[in-house]
Amino acid sequence: MVALPKVARSDCIVLAVIGQSRTIGSSKSFSRARFQLKTIRMKTDLAAQAEMHIPKGYDPRLFKVRHSAAHVMAQAVVERFPGARPTIGPPIEDRFYYDFDLPRPPKEEDLAWIEQRMKEIIKGRHAFSVREVSPGEARELFKDNPYKIELISELVNGSGNAQPITVYQHDTFVDLCRGPHVPHTGYIKANGVKLLATAGAYWRGDASRQQLTRIYGTAWKNRTELEAYLTRLEEARQRDHRSLGRRLELFTFSDKVGPGLPLWLPKGAALREALVSFLKKEQLRRNYQPVITPHIGRLDLYRTSGHYPYYKESQFPPMEESEGEGYLLKPMNCPHHIQVYTHRRRSYRELPIRLAEFGQVYRYEQTGELGGLTRVRGFTVDDAHIFCRHSQVKAEIKDTIDLTLKVLSSLSFEDYSVQLSLRDPEDTGKYTGRAAVWDEAESAIREAVQETGLRYVEALGEAAFYGPKVDFMVRDALGREWQLGTVQLDYNLPERFDLSYIGPDDQRHRPAMIHRAPFGSLERFVGVLIEHCGGAFPVWIAPEQARVLSISERFEGYATSVYQQLLSHEMRVRLDVRSEKVGYKIREAQSEKIPYMLVVGAREADSGTVRVRARSGQDVGAMSVPAFVNRIKEESAQAR
RNA sequence: GCUGGCGUAGCUCAACGGGCAGAGCAGCUGAUUUGUAAUCAGCAGGUUGGGGGUUCAAGUCCCUUCGCCAGCUCCA
């Protein structure tokens, strides 16, 4: 396992900032500040920590170059905006940024000017010099910049021992900074630098504080590498599930229905169905019991569970019948499943009880959060709740992790990370239940994960309000990391709902509860899956598995009979007997990423075969229809 | 929710500084009867996201609203 070392600031550097939107650790002190990106810190001995999740293509030299480029950008920004106050500006994966308090938002021409000015500064080959300064001198240097003053104060008072304060200077620009930097600005290459975007960012990642202007840029060894990077970005955009989803007619959104409420088109629905039936079979084998529950429930139910008070702001407003009484669109399935559990007395003999449902839930996500299928307001959780004895917890968790891994491997997700999400030790108010119960839950789930042998990181402050969890994270086309599968251990909801079972001692006992969802949200999973395979789905989930293409209208009869045979084998297949050339039909099928094209003409009609062309362009040859059906069945079985 | 940007035909995108809204693909009709990534011709397609304003004149400028995008914050 990889723990995040808690090290003193003096012997650590910001190594890597990966993805965005999630934070490891919860402390708001400078050494573990909640910058906007996930920050992993480590000792300067890189080799010793080689197992750390280091972004692909990480290059310590470029890291320094980007850090220095951020300083150069800051100089240019200050020249352009005399009132500007620089705050922090670290390198991140592939890029760098710097946050400023600016007198006005920058326009495009400002950015062009800044970029141009950066190139001049770079060509000036100004040396980076470092020196240690006293707190008093530091305060004097940055007396006009309250942000730097705040940082200095924390360096002085931070975590007991005073830290040395260093400032770096190149040309006219002096910055509070721990380094390291390149020897002089010439090490940054003028033709490898480009400004990318601006964005708002809160000071110290705190929404209650000043909002700053962030400028993103990137820096590479030369123009070729810069252009390669920009090409990569462009290719990623091509793979974006939002454009593929539209082009392949998988899903759509309608203003008339509402933002974040996806409409699944027939092909997208077929894809989902394939995923769902796959998981249903797996769950049957593992003795899960499907249940079906309604989309709404009384407000009181969610008061008891805690979801209503905890997440009031991010729920659709309740349907109130009278003051405080009424119904809520369910934001979670667990309270309903708990009612299934409690519909009668439970004996220890029937535990574990595993209740599964593909339950649709609704959450009023903030407008700025919505995007494609990865963050929506109405979605389907492949939810199950396992009610078991405490002694069964570990085995159950291991089984749910096993199932989650099965799901990921069946869809060839190999590049995922595992996160054990624990309480925030400094903000216990966010959680329900007693500390002792949490301690037990956290150590139980940690032991279970450790026994699976998975590599994982622990993330403080990422637990659910009712318990710790194991999250499986996968990156999207743009490198953003998303939580898909999740396994959550919960000792608190059984408490809140006063759940019990009768033990062998004829006494009432409290069961433990495990919430788990291997896909997580079907919507998000499909979104990430589309990007993962670029829309070229494996045949067992492909919305259209094969298309029958006739050479000319003369073979419409034969083509139709082939098509009907395939239909009778429950294949997802379509027929194209238009009066077009085969080349045209193939091109169309190819761009729709259909796994197999079955060409039929005179030869095939005579011999009762189909000519099989794979999506790869490969000519698979002629075969009978039953042979083709077998081939697909075998390929599908093998894939999962 | 916040900061910034963007909304033109089903899709991708044009329309100099305010001066008659256009193209390709898709669609429809017809011709063609095709052997592994685009056959030809014709037709149709729009209240330039909605509302308001400035102007002789608004896709273009201003206000407002809805939506989308990037980032921040949040994420049961």
The answer to whether strand B lies under 7 Å from the CB of residue A618 is no
- Span CA (A629) to C1' (B68), Å: 43
Q: Report CA dihedral (A366, A368, A374, A375) to the nearest 10 degrees.
A: 10
pTM attached to this predicted model: 0.91
Q: Which residues pair with A460 in a beta bridge?
A: A422
- Please name the helix (run of DSSP H) or strand (run of DSSP E) that holds residue A289, with its range, or none: strand A289-290
Closest by CA position to A152, among listed A171, A170, A140:
A140
Q: Are strands A609-614 and A251-252 parallel, antiparallel or unpaired?
A: unpaired
Kindly tell me if the per-residue pLDDT of A22 is higher than 60.
Answer: no
Identify residue A463 by its one-letter amino acid code: A
Q: What pLDDT shows up at residue A429?
A: 86
- Provide the Cα torsion A80, A81, A87, A89; round to 10°: -20
**Protein CA at A110 to nucleotide C1' at B66, angstroms:** 30
**pLDDT tens, residue by residue, A302-331:** 999 999 999 999 999 999 999 889 999 999
In this predicted structure, the answer to whether residue A14 has a pLDDT above a threshold of 90 is no
What mean pLDDT do residues A526-545 have?
A: 97
Q: What is the 3-state secondary structure (H, E, C) of A270-281?
A: HHHHHHHHHHHH
Nearest to A497 by CA among A309, A356, A305, A351: A305
Please check whether strand B approaches the CB of A581 to within 7 Å. Answer: yes
Contact A613, A599 (CB under 8 A): yes
Whole-number distance in Å between A89 CA and B72 C1': 15
Q: Which nucleotide is closest to the Cα of A581 by its C1'? A: B34
DSSP letter string over A91-128?
EETTEEEEEEE-SS---HHHHHHHHHHHHHHHHTTPBP
One-letter amino acid at A244 equals L
Using DSSP, state whether A132 is helix, strand or coil.
strand
Nucleotide nearest to A369 (CA to C1'): B74
H helix or E strand, kind and range, residue A233: helix A223-239
Q: How far is the CA of A582 from the C1' of B41 (A)?
A: 21
pLDDT single digits (tens) A68-77: 999 999 999 9
Rounded Cα distance between A25 and A63, Å, is 23
Distance B2 C1' – A351 CA (angstroms): 48
User: Which nucleotide C1' is nearest A214 CA?
Assistant: B71
The mean pLDDT of A148-167, rounded to a whole number, is 82
For residue A322, CA distances in Å to A196, A276, A362, A508 come to: 52, 39, 22, 37
pLDDT band at A21 (very low <50, low <70, confident <90, very high): very low
CA of A238 to C1' of B15 (A): 27
User: Which among A124, A110, A165, A111 is positioned nearest to A142, based on CA atoms?
Assistant: A165
pLDDT in tens, A404-413: 999 999 999 9
What's the mean pLDDT in A508-525?
A: 98
Q: Indicate the pLDDT class of residue A57, thresholds 50, 70 and 90.
A: low
pLDDT of residue A426: 86
* Residue range A230-279, pLDDT digits in tens: 988 888 888 999 999 999 999 999 999 999 999 999 999 999 999 999 99
SS3 state at A5? coil
Say if residue A581's pLDDT is above 60: yes
Whether the pLDDT of residue A59 is over 80: the answer is no
- Cβ of residue A613 lies below 7 Å from strand B: yes
Average pLDDT on A28-57 reads: 31
Model confidence at A478, in pLDDT bands (50, 70, 90)?
confident
Strand stretches in A324-480, DSSP E: 325-329, 353-362, 378-388, 416-422, 457-460, 469-475
The answer to whether the beta carbon of residue A436 comes closer than 7 angstroms to any atom of strand B is: no
- Report the C-alpha gap between A66 and A84 in whole angstroms: 21
Query: In this predicted model, what pLDDT tens digit does every residue of A338-386 receive, in sequence order?
Result: 999 999 999 999 999 999 999 999 999 999 999 999 999 999 999 999 9
From the number of C-beta atoms within 10 Å of its C-beta (0-12, 13-18, 19+), residue A394 rates as middle
Residue A517 (CA) to nucleotide B74 (C1'), in angstroms, measures 21
Q: Residue A609 CB closer than 7 angstroms to strand B?
A: no
Residue A541 phi/psi, 5° resolution? -115, -5
Q: Tell me the average pLDDT of chain A.
A: 89
pLDDT at A639: 79
What pLDDT, on the 0 to 100 scale, is given for residue A132?
93
**Does an H or E element contain A79, and which?**
helix A60-80
| CB of A98 within 7 Å of some strand B atom | no
Radius of gyration of chain A (CA): 29
Banded model confidence at residue A47, pLDDT cuts 50, 70, 90: very low
CA distances to A92, A191, A633, A635 from A488, rounded to whole Å, are 31, 49, 35, 34
The reply to whether ipTM tops 0.90 is yes
A236 CB contact with strand B at below 7 Å: no
Integer distance in angstroms from CA A244 to C1' B42? 32
In 10 A of CB A374, how many CB atoms?
A: 20
The backbone torsions φ and ψ at residue A191, rounded to the nearest 5 degrees and listed phi first, read -85, 5
Which residues of chain A between 497 and 556 are close to nucleic strand B, CB under 7 A? Answer: 551-554
Rounded CA separation A220/A184 (Å): 16
pLDDT for position A36: 24
Structure tokens at A401: 């992790």
| A56 pLDDT higher than 60 | no
